[in-house]
Amino acid sequence: MVNERLLKKNILQLKYLNEDHDECVEIFNDAKREFDNIVKKLHYDLNSYDEVLDDSDNVRKKRLASEEIEKEVLNNKANPDWAKKLYRKIVVITHPDKLPDGLNKAVKDSLVNKYQCTINAMCDSDFSEIILIASDLGIDLCNLDESYIEVFNSKIKKMNESISKIKCSIYWVWKYASDEKKDAIIQEFIKSRGWTSSEAMRKKSRPGSAQHPGKSIAWARKLSIKDKK
């Protein structure tokens, strides 16, 4: 028999962490967009070579391949019986084809969203999310076995680590830095990427558009030779 008091405590704790994590991710993404826009403009203005930015397609393909491998590994994990049972109960309530006609649009959209979240959670072996969705739908959770506790503990640990990692990121620091500190961070970033090195400028060597004649040493040399001819 599941300890209902402990289960309720775990559910509330994880819901709070989910909300906290979502807020941190939103702040992180806003700061990252702001930082990346500045970095891209500087990269363009300095006209220096950077393998991450200039070979972005290859980097993106490698990242996608890695994500597919990770998802395949997760999908191969055995699903506990209680998760499968909850999954079936959730699907009966939320499956788009099983929803009654004339249902309020907001309610329907909410149920369809829970259905999709349930599918994603099972694909990712995120069984704690299955419990949260079942709880929101008022599904009886008394038949859970004690293995759910480890599932919650693992997810809570993972969420705390993720929040901590976000708050230690350069984007988080950037978001709450003074203007002076932001300038220092940008200068340190440029230095760390080696954009002002002669090697980086030689590798890039592009003429650019009419508004951007190019600033690399190699391009300037080529332009000078062409003018002499």
pLDDT tens column, 168-196: 998 899 899 999 999 888 888 888 777 76
Cα-flanking dihedrals φ and ψ of residue 194, to 5°? Answer: 70, 30
Lowest mean pLDDT among 130-134, 180-184, 209-213: 209-213
**Averaged pLDDT for residues 108-128:** 90
Q: Which of 77-91, 100-114, 201-215 has the lowest mean pLDDT?
A: 201-215
User: Could you give the C-alpha distances from 82 to 3, 87, 146, in angstroms and in order?
Assistant: 15, 8, 10
pLDDT at 81: 85
Taking residues 89-118, what's their average pLDDT?
91
Given pLDDT bands bounded at 50, 70 and 90, which one contains residue 201?
low
**Whether the predicted pLDDT of 132 surpasses 50:** yes
Most confident of 35-39, 60-64, 199-203: 35-39
Least confident of 48-57, 89-98, 151-160: 48-57
In this prediction, residues 8-23 reach a mean pLDDT of 93
How much is the pLDDT for 216? 41
pLDDT at residue 228 greater than cutoff 90: no
Dihedrals φ, ψ of 160, to 5°?
-65, -40
Cα–Cα dist 25/174, whole Å: 14
Is the model more confident about 54 or about 190?
Answer: 190
pTM recorded for the entire structure: 0.66
Give the H or E element holding residue 103: none
For the packed helices 127-136 and 81-94, what is the interaxial angle rounded to 10 degrees? 40
pLDDT at 19 over 70: yes
Q: 1 versus 152: which is more confidently predicted?
A: 152
Q: How confident is the model at residue 42 (pLDDT cuts 50, 70, 90)?
A: confident
In order of 16, 91, 152, the CA distances from 132 in angstroms are 12, 14, 10
Long-range contacts of 126-134 (CB under 8 A, 24+ apart): 126/155, 127/79, 127/80, 127/83, 127/151, 128/14, 128/152, 128/154, 128/155, 129/155, 130/83, 130/86, 130/87, 130/90, 131/11, 131/86, 132/11, 132/14, 132/15, 132/18, 133/90, 134/86, 134/89, 134/90
What is the pLDDT averaged over residues 56-61? 48
